[in-house]
Amino acid sequence: QSVLTQPPSASGTPGQRVTISCSGSSSNIGTNYVYWYQQLPGTAPKLLIYRNNQRPSGVPDRISGSKSGTSASLAISGLRSEDEADYYCAAWDDSLSAWVFGGGTKLTVL
Amino acid sequence: EVRLVESGGGLVKPGGSLRLSCAASGFTFRSFSMNWVRQTPGKGLEWVSSISSSSSYIYYADSVKGRFTISRDNAKNSLYLQMNSLRVEDTAVYYCARGSGQLPAADGMDVWGQGTTVTVSS
């Protein structure tokens, strides 16, 4: 069972907006930055969002991140077929002195 | 181009040992923390270990503490993971990932290698 909780699946149709939640606690999300990763089938994870809401260069602005208290969210608007992937949230946990990941959310574009 | 290339994976019997390597290029290796993250087939990501840029701070997941040792050679731009007393449940793809700062706890992983597969089976 993962320290950070994500829904196992999410879906949307092309053009729609979808959000993926990530719930943690005061020792991780409540205190530290949240990161989001996209993993396409058969490939390594790719950084999508860093420091809660910052996008690395090359990540489109239709992808955004937010954080409130001990929860965070990833939003993807203008959904495209190429967004179909697994998405993971992560944060440093001060109590565990460890990086913790969410269990991952499989996004399906219908 | 920033690049991380893992090597050293393979098939090993339970109780055996393996040493993974990660060759870094395209950035000033000595200025960044480094991490190992693994992924069991069909499952999620699991953080394994982190090391600060100067090796002063090292962290391990409870599942590998006492069995795995992370190290780095900044002169060779390389990261290592010595895995001893391997168990069937250590079977996974192991990714090397760069931290975005000098300290593992401060900034998350921003660049990932392609992974190397470790299979522990009799």
pLDDT at residue number B60:
97
Question: Which A residues in the span 82-101 are in contact with B, Cβ-Cβ below 8 Å?
Answer: 86, 88, 90-92, 94, 97-101
Nearest CA in chain B to A91: B108
A84 to A43, B30, B45, B76: CA distances (angstroms):
13, 36, 18, 38
3-state helix, strand, coil in chain B (%, to 5): 5, 50, 45
Low-confidence ranges of chain B (pLDDT < 50): none
pLDDT at residue number B70:
98
User: Which amino acid is present at B46?
Assistant: E
pLDDT at residue number A61:
95
User: Average pLDDT in the A27-34 region?
Assistant: 96
How many Å apart are CA B100 and CA B75, to the nearest integer? 19
- Residue in this structure with the two tokens 């990161």, named with its chain if needed: A35
pLDDT at residue number B105:
83
- Residue in this structure with the two tokens 């991140």, named with its chain if needed: A65
In total, the C-beta contacts within 8 angstroms joining chain A to chain B are 68
When the pLDDT of each residue in chain A is averaged and rounded to a whole number, the result is 97
Which residues of chain B make contact with A35, given a CB cutoff of 8 A?
108-109
Judging by DSSP bridges, how do beta strands B68-73 and B78-83 pair with one another? antiparallel
- Determine contact, residues B101/B46, Cβ cutoff 8 Å: no
- Option in B47, B105, B114 nearest A44 (CB): B114
User: Average pLDDT in the A31-54 region?
Assistant: 96
Nearest CA in chain A to B6: A44
**Record: contact A99-B115, CB cut-off 8 A:** no
- Option in A44, A46, A103 nearest B115 (CB): A44
pLDDT at residue number B33:
96
User: Which amino acid is present at B63?
Assistant: S
pLDDT at residue number A52:
97
% chain A with pLDDT above 90: 98
pLDDT at A82 over 90: yes
pLDDT at residue number B103:
86
pLDDT at A67 over 90: yes
User: Average pLDDT in the A94-103 region?
Assistant: 96
**Record: contact B47-A37, CB cut-off 8 A:** no
The DSSP letter of residue A4 is: B
